[in-house]
Amino acid sequence: MNQLEQLKRCTTVVADTGNFKQLAQFAPRDATTNPSLILKAVQQAEYAPLLAEVVAAHPGLPLPQVIDRVLVRFGLEILKVVPGRVSTEVDARLSFDRAATVQRARDIMALYAAAGVGRERVLIKVAATWEGIQAAAELEREGIHCNLTLLFAFCQAVACGDAGVQLISPFVGRIYDWAKKQAGNSWDEAAMAGVNDPGVRSVAQIFQYYKHFGIHTEVMGASFRNVGQILALAGCDLLTISPELLAQLQSREEPVAVQLSAQAARQQPQTRVRYDEAAFRYALNADAMATEKLAEGIRAFAADAEKLDALVLAQRA
């Protein structure tokens, strides 16, 4: 078997793309999207008509509602290909507004429901700010399941688990990027590869903590830079992988060893941690990497959301 087939034996493979026409060749169970991926897709000739069709069908709607319909349209197309769930993201510009995030998530889920898609097939992506986590806790109580994204710090993962969210997406590659940049010329790529990769270590720590304490929140490693990072997390609940890296896994046949085990995690000593708002904000502030990457990620997603807004407005002109 190739490495992708082997990986699927111990981990649920998720495709990280808005390009739904690429999905079938990799047969992932789920798929994730974000504003950057959707923006990239609608700028391609094969997807541009989809954007134009959605915009033309809703000439009088406020811009945010049109954007949600574009996102959901991509989600619906993805769900025709994958048997599981699609993740659709709330506007990153609402990352610090709990009430607005909750309402936008309800609106998105209502669009899926109107198209005949059950709640079990949709995850609402929300940035793992304190406000985002509290919004997700409220949504989960309503039966709307959430995927907490832009997760870099252990305190974010702990708060998400305590909030009862369905799934978290710790960002392996962006943690790796930050550590490599900080190290500069002293960075040793070979020594920091595989299980020693700082992003891999972060996900492994979260996975072990959750499994030890029986926290039901699913762990989905995300934002990979290379196949080595993926294979070092074999056994994680889920891994969301770009089409480029899925293709690499599909082309290789070296053995894949399971690296993470829930059974082993339950046997390792752990200390239970709790965060109220003040403690959460202090812990996040104390983590320079997480503070920087969370802010950077929100800014980048917000910028791409603005670009998507501009494309819609251009279609209306």
pLDDT in tens, 137-167: 999 999 999 999 999 999 999 999 999 999 9
Residue 317 pLDDT > 90: no
Rg (CA), the chain: 19
pLDDT (mean) for 60-69: 96
Q: What percentage of the chain carries pLDDT values higher than 90?
A: 97
Tokens of 314: 């251009």
Question: Of 164, 67, 154, 146, which Cα lies nearest the Cα of 101?
Answer: 146
pTM score, whole prediction: 0.96
Classify 14 in phi/psi space as left (phi over 0), alpha (psi -120 to 50) or beta: beta
pLDDT single digits (tens) 38-55: 999 999 999 999 999 999
Q: What are the catalytic residues? A: 125
Q: How far apart are CA 106 and CA 136, in angstroms?
A: 11
DSSP state of 311: H
Helix (H, G, I), strand (E, B) or coil at 93: helix
pLDDT single digits (tens) 168-219: 999 999 999 999 999 999 999 999 999 999 999 999 999 999 999 999 999 9
Architecture of domain 3-311: Alpha-Beta Barrel (3.20)
What average pLDDT does the structure give for the chain? 97
Distance of CA 200 to the CA centre of its chain: 15
Spell out the domain ranges in the chain. 3-311
Tokens of 313: 């407005």
Q: Checking DSSP bridges between strand 86-89 and strand 122-127, what pairing results, if any?
A: parallel
pLDDT single digits (tens) 68-117: 999 999 999 999 999 999 999 999 999 999 999 999 999 999 999 999 99
Residue 35 pLDDT > 90: no
pLDDT at site 308 = 95
Is 258 buried (19+), middle (13-18) or exposed (0-12) by CB count in 10 A?
A: middle
pLDDT (mean) for 230-252: 97
Residue 25 pLDDT > 90: yes
Residue 311 amino acid letter: L
pLDDT at site 27 = 95
pLDDT at site 64 = 96
Residue 267 amino acid letter: Q
- 3-state SS of 30-72 is EEECCHHHHHHHHCCCCCHHHHHHHHHHCCCCCHHHHHHHHHH
pLDDT at site 316 = 87
Alpha-carbon torsion (127, 132, 133, 135), positive or negative: negative
Residues 130/277, Cβ–Cβ less than 8 Å: yes
